[in-house]
């Protein structure tokens, strides 16, 4: 009998985060000040981030110690289980061994709490009283709301208006933790008022909500801004996922041939993949790392590797990353957490250097995989996580074709219990694939900033 579930004890929660920059052949390019075009120094970031996170953002140290208070809070739901998908393997009739790391057991329902807690911790420690952020479907908003509550910080969430109106449950979850949630674009900021003046019926976008949250934080001394993906320190905090998974696979006597995760801003992919990529970079281990994205927002597979803004109002530093252009409006797919025009500079550099792979899928094929997974393994994946499920199933089918036992590991980044309308749409046959417009993409890429 093979083991179904591999658990660790609390004592085996990692003591350090792993910083991939120490082992990258080409370190990432620095962020640039949007006004001067010069590399952004700590001074440029101080208005919105605490010093310790600025330090982590630029750090080249291989291991960064996790504060004891943060590890104590991680114990609420960590270590997370690693599960062998035996039922799915049987249904696929594949010789592959499929393992998933389940991050949906966090009280926020996804991996995002792994970084929300240290971010709230460092802000509190440096005397900040209030955090602002943006959220799309509400995964990040609910994580940071909870973390703020743990540390006694006020939390202000700018929620993309279309989600605010259509997805009330995560908003109510944020309210339950005491956060203030406003629909973005709002009348509270210059960025919001400018958008509303041009288009009173604007549905909002992540890029607009980021502009509002950054403006709010920059204007007040007691307030900082907090981002749930993309940045180096966020990817860093997520590496506890891969470190735990490595230890768990070791206990099962296995090592992965391929590691997959969904990729929006890149943080859950970085989290599970970087500790294995370390083995590839420093010991020459033969392991493939695959980022899975929606074909409606194909940042890595179709975007340009260039400096670009993180938001619509051009307030954030310029990041060297794969981008579809800061004005690109991805179509309204159900995996809201993957609808961002850019990607992590770390993930982007590694992809550019050929050290990781990327693949894109249409949403109907993604939901087909999600339902197949739920019917065999029981967990109903978040639409974002379902991209990794699709990728893992296709890897298992290729192993079957080749007649090879391959070990496949993927990150099940969150549960889909707040995404029932998406499942309803799929199950009723109404869900459609929404291709992005090739012309809109070309147009958007033609407006990348010149640096």
Interface residues with ligand PLP (CB under 6 A) are 110, 112, 139, 229, 262-269, 337-338, 382, 384-385, 413-414
Closest chain position to ligand PLP (CB): 414
Q: Are 214 and 225 in contact (CB under 8 A)?
A: yes
Q: Residue 232 or 267: which CB sits closer to ligand PLP? A: 267
Shortest distance in whole angstroms from residue 36 CB to ligand PLP: 29
The owner of tokens 């281990």 is 285
Shortest distance in whole angstroms from residue 267 CB to ligand PLP: 3
Q: Residue 124 or 351: which CB sits closer to ligand PLP? A: 351
Q: Is 271 helix (H, G, I), strand (E, B) or coil?
A: helix
- What are the percentages of helix, strand and coil residues in the chain, rounded to 5? 45, 15, 40
CA separation, residue 200 to residues 127, 194, 208 (Å) = 37, 10, 14
How far apart, in whole angstroms, are the C-alpha atoms of residue 407 and residue 99? 8
Residues in the chain: 451
How far apart, in whole angstroms, are the C-alpha atoms of residue 401 and residue 277? 26
| 75: preceding bond cis by omega (within 30 degrees) | no
CA 425 to the chain's CA centroid = 24
Q: Residue 140 or 436: which CB sits closer to ligand PLP? A: 140
Shortest distance in whole angstroms from residue 198 CB to ligand PLP: 28
Shortest distance in whole angstroms from residue 133 CB to ligand PLP: 12
Q: Residue 162 or 195: which CB sits closer to ligand PLP? A: 162
Shortest distance in whole angstroms from residue 337 CB to ligand PLP: 3
Cβ count near 423 (within 10 Å): 20
Token digits of residue 112: 């995002």
The owner of tokens 């010069």 is 38
Q: Are 347 and 285 in contact (CB under 8 A)?
A: no
Q: Residue 94 or 413: which CB sits closer to ligand PLP? A: 413
Shortest distance in whole angstroms from residue 294 CB to ligand PLP: 11
Shortest distance in whole angstroms from residue 213 CB to ligand PLP: 16
Shortest distance in whole angstroms from residue 283 CB to ligand PLP: 26
Task: List the one residue out of 125, 124, 123, 108 whose CA is nearest residue 74.
Answer: 108
Shortest distance in whole angstroms from residue 230 CB to ligand PLP: 7
Q: Residue 266 or 317: which CB sits closer to ligand PLP? A: 266
Q: Are 158 and 212 in contact (CB under 8 A)?
A: yes
- In the chain, DSSP finds a helix count (H) and a strand count (E) of 19, 15
Q: Are 376 and 440 in contact (CB under 8 A)?
A: no
Q: Residue 112 or 326: which CB sits closer to ligand PLP? A: 112
Shortest distance in whole angstroms from residue 403 CB to ligand PLP: 33
Q: Residue 114 or 211: which CB sits closer to ligand PLP? A: 114
Q: Residue 258 or 335: which CB sits closer to ligand PLP? A: 335
The owner of tokens 């943006």 is 134
How many Å from the N-terminal Cα to the C-terminal Cα in the chain?
59
Q: Is 310 helix (H, G, I), strand (E, B) or coil?
A: coil
Q: Residue 256 or 294: which CB sits closer to ligand PLP? A: 294
How far apart, in whole angstroms, are the C-alpha atoms of residue 445 and residue 435? 17
Q: Residue 139 or 189: which CB sits closer to ligand PLP? A: 139
Shortest distance in whole angstroms from residue 89 CB to ligand PLP: 23
Q: Are 413 and 388 in contact (CB under 8 A)?
A: yes
Token digits of residue 140: 């990040």
Residue 118: Cβ-neighbour burial (10 angstroms; 0-12, 13-18, 19+): buried
């Amino acid at each position: 009998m093979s083991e179904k579930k591999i658990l660790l004890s609390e004592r085996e929660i990692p003591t350090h985060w792993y910083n991939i920059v120490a082992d990258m052949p080409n370190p990432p390019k620095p962020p640039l000040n949007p006004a001067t075009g010069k590399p952004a120094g700590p001074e440029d970031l101080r208005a919105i981030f605490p010093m310790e996170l600025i330090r982590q953002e630029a750090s080249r140290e291989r291991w960064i110690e996790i504060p004891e208070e943060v590890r104590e809070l991680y114990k609420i739901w960590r270590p997370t289980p690693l599960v062998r998908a035996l039922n799915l393997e049987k249904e696929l009739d594949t010789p592959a061994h499929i393992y998933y790391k389940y991050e949906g057991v966090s009280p926020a329902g996804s991996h995002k709490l792994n970084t929300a807690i240290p971010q709230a911790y460092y802000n509190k420690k440096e005397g900040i009283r209030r955090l602002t952020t943006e959220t799309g479907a509400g995964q990040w908003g609910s994580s940071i709301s909870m973390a703020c509550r743990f540390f006694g910080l006020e939390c202000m969430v700018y929620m993309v208006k279309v989600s605010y109106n259509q997805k009330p449950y995560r908003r109510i979850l944020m309210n339950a933790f005491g956060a203030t949630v406003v629909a973005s674009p709002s009348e509270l900021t210059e960025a919001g008022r400018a958008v509303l003046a041009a288009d009173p019926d604007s549905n909002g976008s992540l890029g607009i909500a980021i502009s509002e949250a950054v403006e709010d934080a920059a204007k007040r001394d007691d307030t900082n801004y907090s981002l749930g993906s993309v940045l180096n320190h966020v990817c860093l905090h997520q590496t506890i996922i891969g470190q735990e998974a490595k230890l768990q696979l070791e206990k099962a006597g296995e090592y992965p041939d391929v590691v997959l995760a969904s990729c929006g801003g890149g943080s859950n992919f970085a989290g599970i993949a970087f500790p294995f990529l370390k083995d590839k970079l420093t010991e020459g281990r033969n392991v493939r790392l695959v980022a899975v994205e929606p074909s409606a927002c194909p940042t890595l597979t179709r975007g340009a590797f260039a400096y670009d803004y993180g938001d619509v109002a051009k307030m954030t530093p310029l990041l060297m990353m794969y981008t579809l252009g800061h004005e690109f409006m991805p179509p309204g797919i159900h995996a809201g957490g993957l609808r961002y025009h850019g990607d992590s500079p770390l993930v982007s550099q590694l992809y550019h250097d050929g050290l990781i792979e990327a693949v894109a899928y249409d949403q109907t094929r993604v939901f087909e995989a999600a339902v197949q997974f739920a019917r065999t393994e029981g967990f109903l994946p978040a639409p974002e996580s379902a991209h990794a499920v699709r990728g893992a199933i296709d890897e298992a089918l290729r192993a079957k074709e080749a007649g090879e036992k391959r070990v496949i590991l993927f990150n099940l980044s969150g549960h889909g219990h707040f995404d029932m309308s998406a499942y309803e749409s799929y199950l009723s046959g109404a869900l459609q694939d929404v291709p992005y417009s090739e012309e809109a993409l070309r147009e958007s890429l033609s407006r990348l900033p010149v640096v």
